[in-house]
């Protein structure tokens, strides 16, 4: 009995290390346990593990200051953009429009005096992109004043110069409608888009964790329901994020949509339940204090900037406030847990004609073939060069 008691902590420690070091181990363990002790049982176990980890960090990292993950270069002066030429006649060529260079305004740290150098300042993504040619910028925020190790990495994307696509995973969200069950699901970026894909990031919850709806490629995998937030690409080539009450009646006008838990923010206002501390909705069955890796998506009030965030060790209010601080007027939480949140860009290889994935930040689980040649079991979004409405934009 004594030996067994000694071996138990070692086994727990070994499992924790494997989850954090072996790609795919965490999801495999969780799925295996769900078949044995059920969804709620696994949720309670996860809740316990994350609480222990947070308490350990509270002792081990006490007194640490927030740290930076990259160097932020000084901001350069924006170039002068010429006025559009007048009197241009109709043409068979795609419409060309003049747009000013994209650069989100610096927002500074979430908490004054509690930040790392460069918090809230935007850096071109990829970093070797000239600032005034960039379609994407990244920043780092520390949204939780009680936890210096709570980090939120945010990417701002110019919706006037990119197209966002949604891909169902090979397994999730698990279809509940016959037409969805019959849909072919390769789970990766189509081959014809490999040359122009800029980035990709994770989607939402598994079907069993809330039954959030999804429609893509003309097929509904999981029907929509109320008390949700919806990310929708419309046939008029606009992307919108909003509550079911706002977008639900318009789903017939969409090309694709994906549901998430209730909007964390909408029209610059935090969801009342989230503001009051009743946050179980944003952690499946996990309790309100769960400190966990999370991801989120949002849009600014103009509808021109898309924000994507992946975080470490955050509560639901922390990631919501961080995304709002970055500039998102509406915020929807995506997937959570250690293995699922991720954001990657794609680069050319010097050793191969194939492109490969590069993570936004160290420590997030990924592979070089992520989303391109390695099928994803979970749904995801990817970013393509070119405006949502098919028009071309002069820099």
Same domain, 41 and 138: no
Residues 167 and 303 in one domain: yes
257 lies in the same domain as 180: yes
- CA 107, 110, 111, 116 torsion-angle sign: negative
For residue 175, being part of any structural domain is answered with yes
Residue 225, domain member (yes or no):
yes
The verdict on residue 259 lying in a domain is: yes
Query: Which of 39, 60, 81 marks a domain boundary?
Result: 60
Q: Are 379 and 257 in the same domain? A: yes
Q: How many CA atoms lie within 13 A of 180 on its CB side?
A: 20
In a domain, 85, yes or no: no
Q: ∠ CA(371), CA(377), CA(378), 5° rounding? A: 85
Using the 3D structure, point to which of 37, 60, 83 is the last residue of a domain.
60
**Separation of alpha carbons 322 and 160, rounded Å:** 24
Number of structural domains in the chain: 2
79 in a structural domain = no
**Could you give the residue ranges of the DSSP H alpha helices within the chain?**
2-21, 25-60, 178-181, 244-247, 272-275, 316-326
Q: Are residues 129 and 44 in the same domain?
A: no
166 and 308, same domain (yes or no): yes
Structural domain ending residue among the three candidates 10, 29, 60: 60
Residues 251 and 331 in one domain: yes
Asked if residue 346 belongs to a domain, the reply is yes
State the Cα torsion 7-11-12-14 to the nearest 10°: 140
Give the pLDDT of the chain (395 residues) as one tens digit per residue.
444 444 344 444 444 444 444 455 455 455 555 556 555 555 566 666 666 765 666 666 776 788 898 888 876 444 444 444 444 444 445 556 678 899 999 999 999 888 999 999 999 999 888 988 999 999 999 999 989 989 999 999 999 999 999 999 999 999 999 999 999 999 999 999 999 999 999 999 999 989 999 999 999 999 999 999 999 999 999 999 999 999 999 999 999 999 999 999 999 999 999 988 777 777 644 555 678 999 999 999 999 999 999 999 999 999 999 999 999 999 999 999 888 999 999 998 777 778 999 999 988 888 999 999 999 999 999 999 887 655 545 44
Beta-carbon count within 10 A of 301 CB: 12
> Is the same domain home to 256 and 387?
yes
Q: Give alpha helix (H) positions in 103-224.
A: 178-181
| Residue 129 belongs to domain spanning | 123-394
Strand-pair category, 197-202 with 380-385? antiparallel
């Amino acid at each position: 009995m004594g030996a067994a008691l000694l071996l138990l902590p070692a086994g727990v420690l070994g499992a924790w290390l494997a989850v954090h070091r072996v790609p795919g181990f965490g999801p495999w363990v969780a799925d295996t346990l769900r078949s044995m002790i059920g969804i709620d049982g696994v949720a309670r176990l996860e809740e316990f593990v994350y609480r222990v980890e947070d308490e350990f960090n509270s002792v081990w990292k006490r007194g640490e200051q927030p740290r930076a993950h990259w160097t932020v270069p000084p901001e350069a002066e924006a170039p002068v953009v010429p006025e559009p030429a007048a009197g241009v006649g109709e043409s068979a060529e795609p419409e060309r429009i003049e747009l000013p260079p994209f650069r989100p305004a610096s927002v500074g740290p979430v908490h004054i005096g509690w930040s790392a150098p460069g918090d809230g300042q935007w850096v071109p993504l990829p970093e070797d992109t000239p600032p005034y040619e960039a379609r994407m910028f990244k920043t780092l925020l520390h949204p939780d004043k009680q936890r210096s190790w709570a980090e939120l990495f945010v990417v701002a994307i110019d919706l006037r110069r990119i197209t966002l696509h949604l891909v169902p995973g090979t397994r999730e969200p698990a279809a509940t409608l016959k037409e969805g069950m019959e849909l072919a699901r390769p789970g990766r970026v189509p081959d014809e888009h490999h040359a122009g894909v800029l980035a990709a990031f994770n989607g939402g919850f598994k079907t069993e964790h809330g039954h959030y709806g999804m429609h893509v490629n003309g097929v509904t995998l999981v029907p929509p329901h109320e008390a949700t937030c919806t990310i929708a690409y419309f046939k008029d080539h606009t992307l919108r994020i909003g509550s079911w009450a706002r977008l639900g009646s318009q789903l017939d006008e969409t090309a694709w949509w994906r549901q998430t838990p209730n909007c964390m923010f909408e029209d610059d206002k935090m969801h009342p339940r989230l503001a009051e501390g009743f946050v179980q909705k944003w952690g499946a069955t996990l309790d309100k204090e769960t400190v966990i890796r999370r991801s989120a998506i949002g849009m600014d009030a103009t509808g021109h900037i898309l924000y994507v965030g992946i975080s470490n060790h955050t509560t639901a209010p922390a990631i919501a406030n961080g995304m709002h601080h970055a500039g998102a007027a509406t915020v929807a939480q995506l997937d959570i847990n250690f293995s699922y949140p991720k954001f990657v860009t794609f680069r050319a290889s010097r050793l191969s004609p194939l492109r490969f994935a590069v993570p936004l930040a160290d420590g997030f689980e990924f592979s070089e073939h992520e989303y391109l040649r390695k099928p994803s079991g979970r749904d995801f979004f990817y970013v393509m060069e070119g405006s949502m409405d098919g028009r071309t934009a002069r820099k």
